[in-house]
Chain A
């Protein structure tokens, strides 16, 4: 398996990681004007949700792709973020601008807790994965029974007029700017991790935890740190999501359905790549909405069949995701002994 963390300099062409960073920034730069000129609020909403999915994807790449942890119940971090900010705003009037970093802190806190507990008890692979699912379901049940947070009804945020300080905009365009800002920030964080020493540590931990441990790397510590970053990103994304959709309930922000969508984005895009999440998000989200629109209404079921089929086919065809495929292409570019795929 190829790593992004290798500083393969001095070969004439820029290394893959740099290419990915440039691609991400270019996509973000392109989406801004495109989004601002979009006429239909419906398309704009899809675009913003897609960008949020990409942000979530970047978070998962850091917490799961790079660490090699089977983080299935990733949505917990997102959900607690969404509830933190929404509760602070609706109950205590705390601005979402402040709510977002606090939600990130709470998301990171939950992630660290999950990491400490699981690694302390030596839960690995499937067991770790099932534990994270259990955690998300526990949050779901708890919030369904918590009066203060509105139980099953959830939380509504009403938007009456534009107000920058409370992040409320009748015209949805400012949300796109914020979402893209979050995406760029998350991408830069992921880039810094992949490029730096921490990325090398993660690669070592992922590829051979036992050997890494023998080399004196504190495997658990490295994994928990990565989980914390991942949880922070998901928490912030959740806070933004609550403010943007103006409505959250437990079944939605801790549900398995949204959770699986969050996992599909980075897996289809590329599990340990920088550019994967945005590719995955764009492959997945608008496709989903398009299929829904095509087979809408009664035939929501037809959509499910096609969507499921596409997922299976693409995961089988591109086990390392779209970015894995692109990476192979890029690395074989201009090479004499072009064997098509660099292993």
Chain B
């Protein structure tokens, strides 16, 4: 096997990793702020995919549609959260998890009703056009997805660290009780965070729409477990950790898939998952226990 093929696989994996990074970042902020493991996260990616499909049918390109897709999913997710997860925040964790699972059933059902159960793909005239970087060949769609993901992640990072709302989010995540005393509306912060985390997933979906054929259960089938793996790898609740974890897992999956074949590919990230959980459950950036 030549180095070139290996490099190509690594590059493709890295591109995929960029999208992984924002989807996992969405999951990790939600966990960080309210310690809820969101099993419906994959479905927000699915929603992103399908809303992009519909926008494309209306004549809007996938990238022009992205802001609209993100806004719609934000509203849906925040509404869901307000009605179902928020009232259960002081209930046992298993209840919260199963509520998000109920949520995921509902979204899958709605997607199937609105868009049908068949595989769909967003048509893009230049989907196969690519840029050549030395030995590497990267399609514009993947490259754009990667760059947009990194850009948005950077924007989020800036927002979390530099804006008043970002500070409120971090306060609510670290010391909810004290944050409340300081006049932060923690419930509102939680709601906004859930919406924002879900819209990051939706953006990942929008960016993947020209690349992946979609079906109603693609979220839980393809994206839920990688999201968990990345979030744990990058320390649960750590935004930057999820970004780095995403790039890592994407690359490792790309190379590993090439070396081991696609059927064992899943085993790579699962093994990383197990090893990280056992050896350093706090992830790469959680410090020592």
Chain A residues at the B interface, C-beta cutoff of 8 Å? 64, 70, 72, 117, 121-123, 125-127, 129-131, 133-135, 137-138, 141-142, 144-145, 256, 260, 263-264, 267, 271, 299-312, 315-316, 319
Contact = CB atoms under 8 A, between A and B. Distances in A.
A153 to B, nearest CB: 14
Given A125-B93, A130-B228, A130-B232, A308 B270 contact: no
A-B complex: 6 closest residue pairs judged by Cβ atoms? A308-B105, A304-B109, A301-B112, A305-B109, A308-B106, A311-B102
A56 to B, nearest CB: 15
B228 A271 contact: no
Contacts of B110: 301, 305
Given A302-B109, A304-B109, A138 B98 contact: no
B277 interface: yes
B270 A130 contact: no
A133 to B, nearest CB: 7
Interface stretch (B56-64, B206-214, B261-269): B261-269
Given A72-B97, A123-B281, A304 B102 contact: no
Interface residues of B, number: 48
Contact of A267 (B31, B95, B104, B228): B95
Interface string B100-130: 0111111111111100010000000000000
A297 to B, nearest CB: 12
A27 to B, nearest CB: 24
A316 B113 CA distance: 26
A134 B273 contact: yes
Contacts of B263: 141, 144-145
B interface, by DSSP: helix, strand, loop or mixed? helix
11 contacts: A70-B94, A72-B94, A117-B278, A126-B31, A256-B220, A263-B94, A264-B98, A301-B113, A301-B117, A311-B105, A319-B91
A316 B87 contact: yes
A308 B105 CA distance: 5
B264 to A, nearest CB: 6
B3 interface: no
Interface string B2-15: 00000000000000
Contacts of A301: 108-113, 117, 216
